[in-house]
Every structure is written in structure tokens, then in C-alpha cells.
Amino acid sequence: MRDERDSYDILERALAFAAATEADACFASTDHNISRFANSSVHQNMSELSAWLKLRVVVDGAVGTASTTSFDDGELARTAELARTAARHSGAVPGFAGLYRGGEALPDVRTFDERTAAIAPAEKARALRQMFDRGREHGVLFAGSYATGASSIVCANTHGVRRYATVTSSDATAIAIRGSDSGYATAVDRGPLDVLALGDEATLKATLCAGRNEALEPGAYDVILEPPATAEVLEWMNMIAFSGQAFEDGSSFFVGNVGKRVLGENFTFADDAVDPGFLPFPFDLEGLPKRRVALIENGVVRTPVVDKLYADRLGLPPTANGWSLGGGEHGTVFHGSIAAGNATREELIRSTELGIWVTRFNYVNGLLEPKSALMTGTTRDGTFLVRGGKVVARLPNLRWTQSMVEAFSSIDGLTRERRRVGAWYNAFGGTIAPVMKVRGWRFGTQS
Amino acid sequence: MRALLEDVLASLRAPALRYADIRVTTTSEQHVRVRNGEVDTLASTVDRAAGVRVLVGNGWGFAATSDVGEASIRAAARRALEVAAASHIATTETVVLSDVDAYVASWASAYAVDPWSIALDRKLDLLFGATEPMRSDARIHQVSGELFAYRQEKTFASTAGSFIEQTTTEVGAGIEALAIDGGEFQRRTYPNPFGGDHHAGGWEVVEAFDLAGNAPRVRDEALALLAAPKAPAGRFDLVVGSSQLALQVHESCGHPTELDRAMGLEISLAGGSFLQPSMLGQFRYGSELVNIVADATVPGAIGSFAYDDDGVPAQRFHLIEKGMFVGYLTGRDTAPAIGRRSNGTVRAETAARIPIIRMTNINLEPGTTTAEELIASTKRGIFVDTNKSWSIDDLRLNFQFGCEVAYEIENGRLGRMLRNPVYTGTTPEFWRSCDGVGDRASWRIWGLPNCGKGDPMQTMRVAHGAPVARFRGIEMQ
């Protein structure tokens, strides 16, 4: 991980080579370590030191970008020339008022934990060994991964904006497997994780209702979704509904509905990078200060998320969601936050006469009918039958096909407790969500 | 470079060192996208990486760096040993590597016109020329066109004595029309969705796509879909077009025949496989008409190479032969589990990632029936093509696919266009219901540059050849 001075030196040189009236750049360097395991044995163990720079230049209102992983003057000059050439061949972006001009303070958030940065591969291996040994006591084998990383992120532009942050993350998943049954647990934090506790949680799910297996006919059932299930749905909502691109191309159900209540009153969803209990980060990669942005507030559509370019283009207030300079999505939620309710998981189960408790989904796809956010996927690693207010049996994995507009209009309850869930493509945040009970989720055939 | 890499390998000091390799990659990409008459994206990327992999006892260690200078590569080698030592703490499995010969070789994929030699103006002209005519109707809300150029230069050295240099040059292109009318939203693409079709080659490949020549049809079909009736639910004989069938092969044959998935090594992210080693040679996967090969030697396909990232030569072999499950995709550290030698399918996205089993070109072999005969011999059915949505369970059994377009088949003739077709099933039942496989004329190879697997996620470039084929009694939703 490069220090602040080294990082700024690279950025300043890149901006100088840009030789454009406007340019911005982002430089990130990361020390990332990940241990993957299967059959309760580490089979892939990796350490990576990486760094990349992305440079964006604006020539007469037109934008071009180029990126590199080498930072000597010759390579930076070449990268700048590629970006300039690209900009010269582009047309001016309609409505674009220029790069961010700064002048706003950053939120004071804690992003770095020395303990996480100091975790060595051997320390992780010892923690995993403990988890494996305890699993064997319960007759389960584990598969999963345990990653830790420390990064420095710097962005700057020709208007004098300078942003620097260091960030740590610990991210782990554990699947406990006993015969054909499995259970899943996941956690992500800025600080170290208790991997042993994660293994215990997965083991509990793998052994719950052991030997009691039932099947269900296809149909609509009440469903209790754990946060990893909801998080996967939200990843697709990000692509088909929340982004500036989806708003402009008309595929998002937000179009024509801003200011209208189209979802249930008990559903509030925000991009919230300043919540200290989540995975805070102070700015987006265009340098705008992060703040809480409500996309859906008590069921009312408020705004898509946008980068600066699309804020100008669409005439929307900036939301500080530029996570890839010049990226095609033009706004991404990297800190998805569903507001908590006031129930407990036990209360949600107890209030369910006949329903399905879902640990996580597999291979969700949200492209079936974007306007209604119709999605499909299957359940995985712990699907349970709830009958008479009790968890009574394990169910096979089930396919479902469901409109999320309909689902988020049919929420029966949300827990007070929320859990963080990471995502492979998101180094800055993730999703934080309560357990959610939804009426009438449409399940089809079993796997 | 060779002297440096061999010196680093020789410098590795660990009493129980069994194997080591080093890869160095430079990956260059260019992406050009136009949308509604504007340049949407013009981006260039150059990514350099070096990765050192060691096997010490039964512990693997891998360390990578984006700084490919000598000092960083040597430091990565030291870190790889440290990581392998850590692996020992929590490793219980015995690692057995299948034999590999030593190769000293240099290979490059062929192209006629270097895609980087084409001026940006010409690339933009081609995209605007193809997309602007599609904007002639107010219901066409968005048109877009994309071009991709990709080149990876890779150097590999191993303690097995190999030193291999490979360069791959690839291009991709596609156009899209997005039509909206009221609440109805329809997308039509050519030649393939999600960034077009991709092949090893140069600018000549892009020109051969004839994007402009296909644009009017793409526009007209997007508009027609707005008013088309919804594809019906129920069981139908399904004739699947080459493009959609290629993705069906990818999801329901390519992934479940990855031996690392079958052994549970990828279960935490990608999932496992219903095809277990005990089923090899015993399990009827499909009808006798179904022959699926893995072939990393197909010229012009993006799943081709000369040597994999274990240093094993590219090969062609059956996964499914006359409907029977006969083969897995394997690597040196997995093949011994089924008593075989590696068939050379281990690759990494760049040298910054660990090599894992990846599809190469997984191809459904053509049959003898023409596409016209398949339609003509179908009394009541549905023709579907071009993927819109895909989902399959973690064992690769229960799938659901949505397609961009469908047509009724009535008494052997294509009838009305249908919108939003969705079909579902389970993998063996689907392939066993195959009673007609199209001939070579209906067969085409499609490049998918974005197959995701591994953790950290690796995006791999794979391809699939497929003809048109017919499947009896498939459930439409």
C-alpha cells in the first residue's frame, strides 16, 4: 500500500501530463490477502500487491479515459496521450458543466483498522484451522474464503480537489457442509472478523432440522429473507433500476415515478457511506463528499444515483456515486442500506403460518423484465419450511421468479438488527440489511 | 526476461519445494461505445502483472504484483513461499500433480489487420454508421454500438523446465436497439447481446460482422417485439438458435464439467456440480445426438491458446460423447483425482490471479439435419434465440433462460413473433430431449469474454460452437 505522499506524487504527475483544461485521476494501491478453503483444507492462498491509476481528461466538453498499472513518467505520458486522443474523438457531453470544483468538507468517518492491516497469512490460517477442527466435531466440512486487505485511495483534479483515504476490510464466507445439507454465513468489516463465530453460524444452519426434509408445490409463499439473499437482489437493482444509465435509457422503474409511492411504506433504501455501523468511506472517486442519499423513502421513489457527469446531464442533484471515472453505469450504489424495522427474526418466523426461510440466493438474474424488476434465481445453503410459526423442516433448493416492485410493496416486517454483506465487485462498501418478511413470493420447481 | 524468471525460480529456497512457476502478463484493452449519436466510452487500459506460484509440501502459495520490475518479482517469490508456509497450517489434503513435459515455445494468435492500427475516427465512423439509422422511430429510445480490442502477452516459466511466450489478439463488436412503448421495454442485439461477439483476430473480424447491414433488422425486430404477443406458457417443442444454445452449453455443460467444481473446490462462490466423478462413462447426460467437445485449438476462437497456465499443451477431447458423460476439464492438481493427466484447461485472467480450471471452446458438434428441416418437421413448437436472461442453480441442474425473441412454429412453418420467451428445465432432462441437431451450415462459434469464476473474481474469455437444435416438450413460462 503506497503512502499519501507517494500516491499524490503519482497523481500530480498524471495530471501534469494530462495537459488539458480539465482532468481528474484516481490512484489506488492495495495489499490484499485471501485464503480459500474447501473440504476443510486451504487449497488456494494468495497475496497481491497491486496499484492502478485511471486518468480522465476533458477536451472541449468531451471526455476520454485511460488507465495503467505502471507509473514512470513515460507510461504516465503515454496514458495521458491515450486519454487525450479519446477525448478529441468524442463529442461534448450535453449538459456537462465540468469536473467537481470542491469546496466541501469530507465527512469524518473511520475507515482504517490497524489490526486488520496487520493480519498475516499465518494468523488467518490458524483461525481457519480452529474453525475446521470445530466443524469436524459437528461432522461438518467447510468451504469458503477469508480475505483481508488494506488500500490507499487518492483522487485529484485540475480544480484543486485532493482526496486521500486509507481503508481496510475483512471479508469472509463459510459454507458448512454435512452430507447433502449445507449452511452459510458471511461477514464483512473494517476491523478483524471472528471467523470461528462465522463457522458456528454456518454449522447451525447446516445442522438445523437435520433429517427432516420436506418438499413444497410451486406457488406463492410468505418468505423470510436473510440479508445475503436481499443483498443479491439489490446488486441487480443497482444495474437495472438505481443507476444513472438505467434512468436515462428508460429501463428503470424509477422513470416517471420520482416523487411517487410505488413500493411499500415500510421500505426505505439509501446509499449510506457515512453510517459508522456500516462500511464508511468519505468520498466517491470524483472527489465528492459522501452523504446519505435516499433512493426510496417510505416507498416513495426519490432519485437514482449518478456521477457528476450524469447529474449535470439529467439535471439531478449530485449524489456522489461516481465509482469509475467515465464508467458506463454513471452512478452505482456502493453502500446499499435498507432501513431497519422493529421486529426480531423470531417474531417474523412466529407470525408465519406457512412460509419459507431463505439463507441466500444463487445466480440471480434481473434482466427478465427490468421495468417491473422481474428477477429469477434459486435458493441455496439453507432453505427451511416454516409452518405454524416454527421452523419445521429443510427444503430443497427452489427456483423463484418474482417482481421486486411487487415484493418490496409486500413487506410484512423487518428486523431491528441489520447485517453487513460484502460483494466481490465492491471494495468500498457492500449492503446492510435487516431480515425481511415478504408476502407471496413466487416459487417454482425444486432443484 | 527468460534469464530473470529462471534465476528467480532457481533462487526459491524451501526444503520441501515441489513445484514453482512465474507468469508475467501485459494486457491491453480498448473499449469504444457510442450511444444515441454520442461517444459514450472511449477508454484504454494497460494492465501489467507478475505472479509466482509455489507448491511446498502440500501447501500452495501465490503472490502477485502489478510492478513487474525485477525487485518486485523477486519479492513476490519470497512472499509466495511465506504464503505456502501459512497454507501448511490449515491444509489437510494431499496435492498430487499430473506429469507435464518441458516446453520451450512461442505462439501468437493470427490476425490480418492489427486492431490497434485502425484510427479511432474509423472505429467511430463504423459504430455511428451502424447505429444512427436505427434511430428512425421515436419508440427507439436508445441505440448503441461497441467495439473491443484485446491483447494479452504472457510469459510463463516453470521448474518443470518450460519457458513459453504467448500473445493473443482479439476483437469484439455489437449493436443494440432498445425500444419502449408505454410500459413495454424490448431490446434487440446483433450479433450477440452484452457487448457483441468476440473472436481472436483483427479488424477484419469486425468488418465481417457487417454491423451496418444488420442494423435495420435489429431496429425492426425491436419495434416488432413491442407489439408481439407474450410467448405462451406450457410445454412445447423448442427449437433453439445457435446463439442461445451456445449459452446453454456454457451454463449446463461447460461449468458442470469443470473438475474443480465437481471436487467442491469452487463451492463457496460459483458452486459445485451434479456431474460427480463416479458418473464418468456411466451417466446419460443427453440423447445420442449430443456430442460436446472441449477444443482449445480452434483457430479464431477466444478460448484457444497453445499452452495453459500449467504449461500443458492445448487439447481437443470429448466431454459428452453420444450423450454419455465421458470427460472433465482438468488441471495438473485435479486430474489425478480421477486417475488422468491434465487436459490443459487451467488459465488465469492475468498473472495477478491464480490459475484455475476454465472452459476453453466448449462446442456442441453439428449434426446432419438442416435448420430448415428441423423447423419443417416440428408440428407445434417455438423457436427462440439470443439470450436475455440466464440463471442456473449451484449444481448446474435447474436452469431458466429468457431470450430476446421467439417465433411460433405451426405445422412446420415459422409464424408470429413472440416476446419475452422464457424456458426452464433441468440439465439432463433437457439434453436427453434433444432429437435434432443442426448441420455445419447452422453451426457457429460465439465468443463470451466475461465468464466469471474464482475469488477474487476472474473474468475469462471462452467460446462456444453450437448449431440450431430441437428439444421436445420443454416448459415455457
Chain B residues with CB inside 8 Å of A33's CB? Answer: 83
pLDDT of A328 over the 80 cut:
no
Q: Which residues pair with B140 in a beta bridge?
A: B179
Contact at CB, A46 and B63, closer than 8 angstroms:
yes
- Nearest by CB to residue B267, choosing from A38, A87, A90, is A38
Q: Write out the H or E segment, with its range, that includes residue A63.
A: strand A62-68
Cβ neighbours around A426 below 10 Å, total = 20
Contact at CB, A47 and B268, closer than 8 angstroms:
no
DSSP B336: G
pLDDT of A327 over the 80 cut:
no
Q: For A91, list phi and psi in degrees, rounded to 5.
A: -90, 160
Q: Which set of grid coordinates corresponds to residue B132?
A: 444512427
pLDDT band at A87 (very low <50, low <70, confident <90, very high): very high
Q: Which residue of A has its CA nearest to B116?
A: A82
- Nearest by CB to residue A371, choosing from B92, B183, B271, is B183
pLDDT value of residue A108: 97
Q: How far is B212 from chain A (nearest CA, A)?
A: 20
Q: Which set of grid coordinates corresponds to residue A194?
A: 471472528
- Nearest by CB to residue A121, choosing from B68, B82, B477, is B82
pLDDT value of residue B472: 98
- Nearest by CB to residue A66, choosing from B43, B271, B424, is B43
Residues A397, A384: Cα–Cα separation, whole Å: 9
Q: Taking the alpha carbons of A370, A372, A377, A383 in that order, is the dihedral positive or negative? A: positive
pLDDT of A326 over the 90 cut:
no
Q: Write out the H or E segment, with its range, that includes residue B85.
A: helix B70-89
CB B32 within 8 A of CB B147: yes
Instruction: Specify the CATH superfamily of domain A4-207.
Output: PmbA/TldD superfamily (3.30.2290.10)
B455-465 per-position pLDDT tens digit:
999 999 999 99
Q: For B395, list phi and psi in degrees, rounded to 5.
A: -100, 0
Q: Which set of grid coordinates corresponds to residue A415?
A: 428486523
pLDDT value of residue B270: 86
Q: How far is A342 from chain B (nearest CA, A)?
A: 32
Contact at CB, B40 and A328, closer than 8 angstroms:
yes
- Nearest by CB to residue A41, choosing from B92, B390, B456, is B92
Q: What is the mean pLDDT of residues B186-202?
A: 97
Residues B53, A46: Cα–Cα separation, whole Å: 9
pLDDT of B448 over the 80 cut:
yes
- Percent of chain A clearing pLDDT 90 (strictly above): 94
Q: Which residues of chain A does CATH 3.30.2290.10 include?
A: 4-207
- The residue among B239 and A94 whose pLDDT is bigger is B239
Q: Which set of grid coordinates corresponds to residue B456?
A: 477474487
Angle at A75 between CA B79 and CA B22, to 5 degrees: 30
- Percent of chain B clearing pLDDT 70 (strictly above): 100
CB pairs under 8 A between A and B: 250
Chain A residues with CB inside 8 Å of B93's CB? Answer: 39, 41, 43
Cβ neighbours around B195 below 10 Å, total = 20
Question: Longest Cα pair distance anywhere in chain B, in angstroms?
Answer: 73
Q: Which domains does chain B have, with CATH numbers?
A: 2-227 (3.30.2290.10), 234-476 (no CATH)
pLDDT value of residue B21: 98
Contact at CB, A45 and B61, closer than 8 angstroms:
yes
Which residue type occupies B228? A
B39-60 per-position pLDDT tens digit:
888 899 999 999 999 999 999 9
B267-312 per-position pLDDT tens digit:
988 899 999 999 999 999 999 999 999 999 999 999 999 999 999 9
Interface test with B, best of A2, A10, A35, A42 (most B CBs within 10 A): A42
pLDDT of B326 over the 90 cut:
yes
pLDDT of B186 over the 80 cut:
yes
- Nearest by CB to residue A70, choosing from B48, B120, B390, is B48
Chain B residues with CB inside 8 Å of A83's CB? Answer: 44
- B333 class by beta-carbon count within 10 Å (0-12 exposed, 13-18 middle, 19+ buried): buried
pLDDT value of residue A425: 86
CB A303 within 8 A of CB A316: yes
- Of residues A122, A186, A178, A145, the one with CA closest to residue A38: A145
Q: How far is A243 from chain B (nearest CA, A)?
A: 15
pLDDT value of residue A325: 87
Query: Average per-residue pLDDT in chain A?
Result: 96
B416-436 per-position pLDDT tens digit:
999 999 999 999 999 999 999
Q: How far is B155 from chain A (nearest CA, A)?
A: 18
Residues B320, B326: Cα–Cα separation, whole Å: 6
A409-418 per-position pLDDT tens digit:
999 999 999 9
Q: What is the mean pLDDT of residues B134-143?
A: 95
pTM of the model: 0.97
Chain A residues with CB inside 8 Å of B38's CB? Answer: 90-91, 93-94
pLDDT of B322 over the 80 cut:
yes
Angle at A118 between CA A114 and CA A122, to 5 degrees: 155
| ipTM > 0.90 (yes/no) | yes
Query: Average per-residue pLDDT in chain B?
Result: 97
pLDDT value of residue B388: 97
Mean pLDDT check: name the lowest of A121-135, B30-44, B158-172, B380-394. Answer: B30-44
pLDDT value of residue A424: 87
pLDDT value of residue B379: 97
pLDDT value of residue B120: 92
- Of residues B160, B201, B100, the one with CA closest to residue B447: B201
pLDDT value of residue A446: 82
Angle at B387 between CA B384 and CA B391, to 5 degrees: 110
Chain A residues with CB inside 8 Å of B178's CB? Answer: 249-251
Q: What is the mean pLDDT of residues A34-47?
A: 97
Cβ neighbours around B257 below 10 Å, total = 27
pLDDT value of residue A259: 98
pLDDT value of residue A277: 95
End-to-end CA separation in angstroms for chain A: 44
Q: Which set of grid coordinates corresponds to residue A167?
A: 481503508
pLDDT of A253 over the 90 cut:
yes
Cβ neighbours around B11 below 10 Å, total = 10
Angle at B52 between CA B49 and CA B55, to 5 degrees: 155
Residues A382, A397: Cα–Cα separation, whole Å: 8
Total residues found in chain B within this entry:
477
pLDDT band at A445 (very low <50, low <70, confident <90, very high): confident
Q: What is the mean pLDDT of residues B95-112?
A: 98
Residues A436, A344: Cα–Cα separation, whole Å: 10
pLDDT value of residue A212: 97
- Of residues A105, A102, A89, A103, the one with CA closest to residue A57: A89
Which residue type occupies A256? G
pLDDT value of residue A447: 78
Which residue type occupies B358? R
Q: What is the mean pLDDT of residues B324-330?
A: 98
Q: How far is A343 from chain B (nearest CA, A)?
A: 30
Q: Which residues pair with B210 in a beta bridge?
A: none
Contact at CB, A47 and B83, closer than 8 angstroms:
yes
- Of residues A117, A108, A301, the one with CA closest to residue A191: A117
Contact at CB, A143 and B80, closer than 8 angstroms:
no
Radius of gyration of the CA atoms of chain A, in A: 23
Q: Which set of grid coordinates corresponds to residue A241?
A: 433500476
pLDDT value of residue A199: 98
Residues B216, B211: Cα–Cα separation, whole Å: 10
Contact at CB, B44 and A82, closer than 8 angstroms:
yes
pLDDT band at B182 (very low <50, low <70, confident <90, very high): confident
CB B324 within 8 A of CB B289: no
Angle at B82 between CA B77 and CA B87, to 5 degrees: 120
Q: What is the mean pLDDT of residues B150-161?
A: 98
Contact at CB, A46 and B64, closer than 8 angstroms:
yes
CB B48 within 8 A of CB A69: yes
Which residue type occupies B393? D
